Amino acid sequence: MTERAPARLSIRQILHPRSVAVFGASDNADKFGGRIMRFLTRHGFPGRIVPINPRRSEVLGHRAYATIAEAPGEVDVAILAVPPGQLVGAVADCAAAGIGCCVVMTTGFAEASEEGAARQDELAAIARRSGMRIVGPNCMGFLNPAWKLTLCSSVVLEAERLLVGEIGLVSQSGALMVSMFDRAYGDGIGFSACVSLGNQSDLELCDFLEYFIEDPATRVVCLYVEGFVDPARFVRAAAACRAAGKPLIVLKTGRTPAGVKAARSHTASLAGAYDIFRAVCREHGVLLVDDPAIMVRLADLLARWPEAGGDGIGVLSGSGGSAGILADRLSEAGLRLATLAPTTRARLSEILLPPQADNPIDLGGRRPPESVEIAGTAMSALAADPDVAVIVMGLSSMPFFENRTRLLATAAMASGKPVLCSLLPGPAADRPRAALREAGCPFFDSTEEQLRTLGHFMAYRRLAAYGAEPAVRPASLSPQPVPLPGGAGHREIGTLLAAYGLPLAREILAKDSDEAVAAASSIGYPVALKGVTRDLVHKSDAGAVKLNLRDEAALRAAWEEIMRALARSRSDAAQPANGIEGCIVQEMVEGGAELILGIKRDPQFGPVVLVGSGGILVELLRDVELAPAPLSHAAALRLLRRLRSAPILDGIRGQPPLDLNAAADAVVRLGWLAADLGARLVDLEINPLVLRRRGRGAVAVDFRATLLPGG
């Protein structure tokens, strides 16, 4: 590949151009070039505008030129929406003319056909050779409201003015970008910049993400992602975003890849691509959402109230029904209603009846007559309570609707605490909505959207509370990775696990029943007997596991049953019977719970660790959590506590608590094994890891791995 020439412009210079050229410039707003010219002029772009049109001498008061080569002076950025067949030549002309960046709106490239993909490769080659950068093709351009820059043809830019905000948006979908811009505009939300990437032939998502991390005008970054050019670069940028204290919100498509077949391990079948991406995002404090409107509203909240705070939620409504619904929904979502201080309840009791003078507050239970307005007083009392970190309003129709809404919003916003308001009525709430807008109070037209946004907002506060935690290598581990074994048999993998300090059950491999009896005498009854072949993955499914064998007779009978089962399974699979290696005689391990621990190497994001409810029902329960490797002990504990079965681990119905620290230590060690051993280790699984009572450790009872051939 040709070595890339130095870039002519930085991302900052591209988003703040001194001059722009518009190919196909026109006075006709029905055409792409006409709308771009119209919006640049209408919104007051302060730089030089250079129309390119061989049939015009002037466009909207700006002198036009037949070709870019004829345009005098330096031109920073050109935007092109010319036919696909002419596009490569036009981009080459721009490179020859010294243009810094081309924004290519034209479609019909890699997204369309092999021929289009070849044309796109030509664009990328021009960029590499010349140092001219390219945004697109198949994009909608970009916007920089503070710079009054509108290199975009969408009709949403008919807006009266550009709202300047602190949200940076990067989208692989142009239509989604402009729709989010319009939705935000309707809610009074502005952006620092909006960028549509299209096919990412040259500049890609991370180029702009890294810019927003450094940009002082951006406080929150939003990404719409379909696929990554460089996943490792994204992970580094996400970590940098967190270190800079800038929330990163991502909406990614492809969450449910249809047709993905389960691999030979439970780990591979349970750790889906999106599950791994979600784990990586959680590790780096990235918020994942599934709705563009929620992404915009969430970004607005985080830009307004970026500091981490408490988790107590104060609820106020003009209706007992709405207050009750909000209280129920918040509790169902795992969010905590604030406990009001006695002084707060006393203040509220002066204006509300006892049942309503607490959280949630119902303004309908008033003491004074309607002629005495209590809305602002009630809100001020609620907002001042030390346990109230966030204020949630649910407004239904009420007397003096507009005025009371204004009083509530003004008092809530004056508190400096985050506020989210929802309104149930339709047209009857139009004037209250206007009052909320005037007060700058965020509002929603559905409780569902309000609470989903709140849930993400509170999740970010929890993420921000513990911050990034470096993974520390256990002191007992060798500072150098342990070499991978030459094979992937049970014995080799057991040796590897032991080298990383994973606790293994005592066991002996026996070639015949006499050796098994001798092994059991050495270990001590009762024992387990497990058949071993070179390619047997799930021993229980093949009838190759016998437990609680208490004497020699039971052991010999179990041996014969396992040999018959293995021979039968290999015959059914048309495999040679001589692949049977014997049986493992293993101590019987008792414990309070069984876990599965696994490793999977993702082609995009590298090694991840899986932990979940183990045993034979692992795929039925699907109670698993993932984290990128390696991870800290605290992160491993959080991973375990996120399991649905976590209450069992803490001890329920009189059962003793189990050794969570031992399980977390095993997860940490497995994470370092995954991080150390490179791409030859495809996946590894311990199932089950038997967890004993607190202080008595954990024991790996069965394990397997998939290794790629190599040295």
pLDDT in tens, 152-202: 999 999 999 999 999 999 999 999 999 999 999 999 999 999 999 999 999
Contact indicator for 76, 100 with CB cutoff of 8 Å: yes
CATH code 3.30.1490.20 region(s) in the chain = 506-587
Digit-coded pLDDT (tens) for 408-430: 999 999 999 999 999 999 999 99
pLDDT computed for residue 572 by the predictor:
56
DSSP 183-252: HHHHTT--EEEEEE-TT-SSS-HHHHHHHHHH-TT-SEEEEEES--S-HHHHHHHHHHHHHTT--EEEEE
Q: Are strands 191-196 and 164-171 parallel, antiparallel or unpaired?
A: parallel
What is the distance between the alpha carbons of residues 113 and 102, in angstroms, rounded to a whole number? 22
Looking up tokens 């080799």 gives: 492
Exposed/middle/buried for 481, CB within 10 Å: 0-12, 13-18, 19+?
middle
**Helix (H), strand (E) at residue 419:** strand 419-423
At 185, list the tokens. 């505009």
At 578, list the tokens. 């001589």
At 310, list the tokens. 């408490």
Enter the CATH code of domain 593-707: 3.30.470.20
Cβ atoms within 10 Å, residue 161: 12
The residues, ordered by sequence, that sit 6+ positions from 45 with a Cβ below 8 Å of its Cβ are 20, 147, 148, 149, 150
Contact indicator for 597, 666 with CB cutoff of 8 Å: yes
CATH code 3.40.50.261 region(s) in the chain = 309-464
Looking up tokens 């691509």 gives: 273
pLDDT computed for residue 264 by the predictor:
36
Is 336 a residue whose pLDDT tops 80? yes
Single out the residue of 637, 707, 710 nearest to residue 674, CA to CA. 707
Contact indicator for 604, 532 with CB cutoff of 8 Å: no
Contact indicator for 294, 456 with CB cutoff of 8 Å: yes
Angle (CA) 276 234 115, round 5°? 95
What is the distance between the alpha carbons of residues 101 and 91, in angstroms, rounded to a whole number? 10
Digit-coded pLDDT (tens) for 192-245: 999 999 999 999 999 999 999 999 999 999 999 998 999 999 999 999 999 999
Cβ atoms within 10 Å, residue 689: 27
Enter the CATH code of domain 11-255+290-300: 3.40.50.720
- Mean pLDDT of the region 320-349: 95
At 189, list the tokens. 């939300």
What is residue 484's DSSP assignment? P
What is the distance between the alpha carbons of residues 335 and 142, in angstroms, rounded to a whole number? 38
- With H, G, I as helix, E, B as strand and everything else as coil, classify residue 1: coil
pLDDT computed for residue 271 by the predictor:
45
Is 338 a residue whose pLDDT tops 90? yes
Exposed/middle/buried for 522, CB within 10 Å: 0-12, 13-18, 19+?
exposed
Contact indicator for 146, 217 with CB cutoff of 8 Å: yes
pLDDT computed for residue 256 by the predictor:
57
At 17, list the tokens. 């151009």
pLDDT computed for residue 265 by the predictor:
43
Digit-coded pLDDT (tens) for 6-42: 999 999 999 999 999 999 999 999 999 999 999 999 9
Exposed/middle/buried for 473, CB within 10 Å: 0-12, 13-18, 19+?
middle
At 143, list the tokens. 């916007």
Sign of torsion over alpha carbons 434, 438, 444, 447:
negative
Angle (CA) 140 211 275, round 5°? 80
Q: How many CA atoms lie within 13 A of 112 on its CB side?
A: 13
Cβ atoms within 10 Å, residue 69: 12
Cβ atoms within 10 Å, residue 642: 15
Looking up tokens 């049977």 gives: 580
CA dihedral 653→655→659→660, nearest 10 degrees, is 0
β-sheet bridge partners, residue 135: 103
What backbone torsions phi and psi does residue 75 show, to the nearest 5 degrees? -120, 125
What is the distance between the alpha carbons of residues 701 and 646, in angstroms, rounded to a whole number? 21
What is the distance between the alpha carbons of residues 272 and 619, in angstroms, rounded to a whole number? 13
Contact indicator for 444, 453 with CB cutoff of 8 Å: yes
Digit-coded pLDDT (tens) for 608-661: 999 999 877 676 778 899 999 999 999 999 999 999 988 888 887 778 899 999
Is 327 a residue whose pLDDT tops 50? yes
At 322, list the tokens. 């709405």
Is 2 a residue whose pLDDT tops 90? no
Q: Are strands 606-613 and 443-444 parallel, antiparallel or unpaired?
A: unpaired
CATH code 3.40.50.720 region(s) in the chain = 11-255+290-300
What is the distance between the alpha carbons of residues 353 and 198, in angstroms, rounded to a whole number? 59
pLDDT computed for residue 266 by the predictor:
40
Q: Which fold has domain 506-587?
A: Dna Ligase; domain 1 (3.30.1490)
Is 671 a residue whose pLDDT tops 50? yes
Cβ atoms within 10 Å, residue 335: 17
Digit-coded pLDDT (tens) for 90-149: 999 999 999 999 999 988 888 888 888 999 999 999 999 999 999 999 999 999 999 999
Single out the residue of 12, 80, 357 nearest to residue 216, CA to CA. 12
pLDDT computed for residue 263 by the predictor:
31
What is the distance between the alpha carbons of residues 248 and 57, in angstroms, rounded to a whole number? 46
The residues, ordered by sequence, that sit 6+ positions from 536 with a Cβ below 8 Å of its Cβ are 542, 544, 566, 569
**Helix (H), strand (E) at residue 361:** strand 361-362
At 631, list the tokens. 């991870």
pLDDT computed for residue 112 by the predictor:
83
Q: Does domain 309-464 have CATH number 3.40.50.261?
A: yes
- Mean pLDDT of the region 302-323: 92
Q: How many CA atoms lie within 13 A of 95 on its CB side?
A: 21
Contact indicator for 585, 508 with CB cutoff of 8 Å: yes
What is the distance between the alpha carbons of residues 84 and 108, in angstroms, rounded to a whole number? 6
Cβ atoms within 10 Å, residue 416: 9
Q: How many CA atoms lie within 13 A of 269 on its CB side?
A: 13
- Mean pLDDT of the region 301-322: 92
Digit-coded pLDDT (tens) for 423-474: 999 999 999 999 999 999 999 999 999 999 999 999 998 887 776 788 999 9
